[in-house]
A = this chain, B = another copy of it.
Amino acid sequence: MANSPTGDSVTDRLVRVLETFTPTRTAQTTAEIGRRAGLPSSSAHRIVAELVAAGLLERGEDGRVRIGMRLWELATRSSPALRLRQLALPFMERVQQRVREHTQLAILEQDEALFLERLSGTASGANVTRVAGRLPLHASSSGLLLLAFAPRELQERVLTGPLVALTAETITDPRMLRRKLDEVRTLGHAVAPGSMEAVSTGVAVPLRDETGAVVAALSVVLPREAPTEPALLELYRAAHDIERALSGARRL
């Protein structure tokens, strides 16, 4: 495929254009997109025009460009992970109704926990999670759960990499993190008091496929001093029902 003088492929440049959009920057002029993507003005105009023609971007009445619904539609309707999300949703709703705190579904994605869904009700507490947002594996309960059951080489990569402190209680010592992962495997679930936010405790249980492999983490965010057992019971019940529904549906 045609490469630019700097050797990046057209696909790279398209992705760079899309990546200039963020949760807090949802509308931009083509000039801004070009500058942020590091593209010459003529390339930026051509790529944006083509993406608008294809519906992946949309141009508003104000002339600014936004992410097009076609992109979301293409991604959502064909993704195996998002079919898991759809299947899990009714059972997540049940957890949310009974526990009345943020209820979340996350998968392992490029060494981070990627959140596929978050249900919050109208009266849940603090929570930094965002749908389609990511959290580091060593800090969130979902991340610790996914990391504990991840392939050994991924665990070693995280254990030997930088462990950023998000609060005073985030585990940043590799030996302590190793012990925490052992604890998660022994308990079968993760409890993370104060490691993401001082005021909250995250609890996460695994979702397994038919082979027993962990494919996702189901979690709730509780007020710091709340008992964890009632939430864990609801999470395990939901995980059981989701796994049964999964084995009825086609393989992920």
User: Which A residues form the contact surface with B (CB < 8 A)?
Assistant: 1-2, 9-12, 14-15, 18-19, 21-23, 25-27, 43, 46-47, 50-51, 53-56, 66-67, 69-83, 86, 89-91, 93-94, 96-97, 107, 109-110, 114, 119-122, 130-133, 241
CB contact under 8 A between A121 and B93, given known A11-B47, A76-B72:
yes
Nearest-Cβ distance from residue A109 to partner chain B, whole angstroms: 5
CB contact under 8 A between A56 and B15, given known A46-B1, A75-B72, A81-B69:
yes
Contacts of A9 in B (CB 8 A): 50
CB contact under 8 A between A66 and B80, given known A18-B74, A55-B110, A122-B90:
yes
The A interface, classified by DSSP as helix, strand, loop or mixed, is helix
Residue of B nearest to A12 (CB): B54
Please determine whether A53 and B11 come into contact, CB atoms closer than 8 angstroms.
yes
Please determine whether A72 and B67 come into contact, CB atoms closer than 8 angstroms.
no
Please determine whether A72 and B79 come into contact, CB atoms closer than 8 angstroms.
yes
User: Which residue of the partner chain, among B25, B72, B91, B110, contacts A82 with CB atoms under 8 Å?
Assistant: B72
Contacts of A90 in B (CB 8 A): 119-122
Residue of B nearest to A83 (CB): B26
In the complex, which of the residues A71, A72, A81 has the most CB atoms of chain B within 10 Å of its own CB atom?
A72
- In Å, the complex CA distance between A138 and B9 comes to 43
Residue of B nearest to A108 (CB): B69
Please determine whether A122 and B94 come into contact, CB atoms closer than 8 angstroms.
yes
User: Which residue of the partner chain, among B23, B66, B69, B132, contacts A109 with CB atoms under 8 Å?
Assistant: B69
Contacts of A21 in B (CB 8 A): 74, 77-78
Nearest-Cβ distance from residue A98 to partner chain B, whole angstroms: 11
Please determine whether B131 and A76 come into contact, CB atoms closer than 8 angstroms.
yes
Please determine whether B119 and A89 come into contact, CB atoms closer than 8 angstroms.
yes
Contacts of A23 in B (CB 8 A): 77-78
User: Which residue of the partner chain, among B56, B77, B132, contacts A73 with CB atoms under 8 Å?
Assistant: B132
Contacts of A47 in B (CB 8 A): 1, 11
- In Å, the complex CA distance between A68 and B71 comes to 12
Residue of B nearest to A2 (CB): B2
